[in-house]
């Protein structure tokens, strides 16, 4: 089966209950579909989205180390073996 990996970091590990999940590529051909698929509870949706289909500005989503803001955003296509990293806001001083 062709898959992509989604990795959750920091506080998102608690929200998603795991660090990494394999997702069938046919169910997540792009980032928007992947986020819709993994955000399957109200708590998960709230952690990632500001509004339906609009990721929170402070959430960083990377595909193979590249931020989707510099790619095609939610329309960024995924390929077999891609790794998607989802980071919550990082604060500190």
Report if pTM > 0.75: yes
List beta partners, residue 55.
49
What pLDDT, in 10s, does the model give residues 10-68?
Answer: 999 999 998 999 999 999 999 999 999 999 999 999 999 999 999 999 999 999 999 99
* Protein fold of 3-87: Ubiquitin-like (UB roll) (3.10.20)
Helix, strand, or coil (residue 49) = strand
10-26 tens-digit pLDDT:
999 999 998 999 999 99
Where do the structural domains in the chain lie, given as residue ranges?
A: 3-87
Contacting residues for 17 by C-beta, under 8 A, at least 6 apart = none
């Amino acid at each position: 089966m062709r898959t992509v990996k989604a990795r959750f970091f920091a506080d998102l590990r608690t929200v998603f209950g795991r660090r990494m999940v394999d997702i069938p590529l046919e169910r997540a051909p792009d980032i928007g579909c992947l986020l819709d698929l993994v955000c399957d509870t109200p708590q998960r949706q709230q952690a990632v989205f500001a509004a339906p289909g609009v990721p929170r500005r402070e959430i960083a989503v990377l595909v193979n180390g590249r931020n989707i803001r510099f790619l095609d955003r939610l329309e960024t296509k995924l390929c077999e073996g891609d790794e998607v990293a989802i980071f919550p806001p990082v604060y500190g001083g």
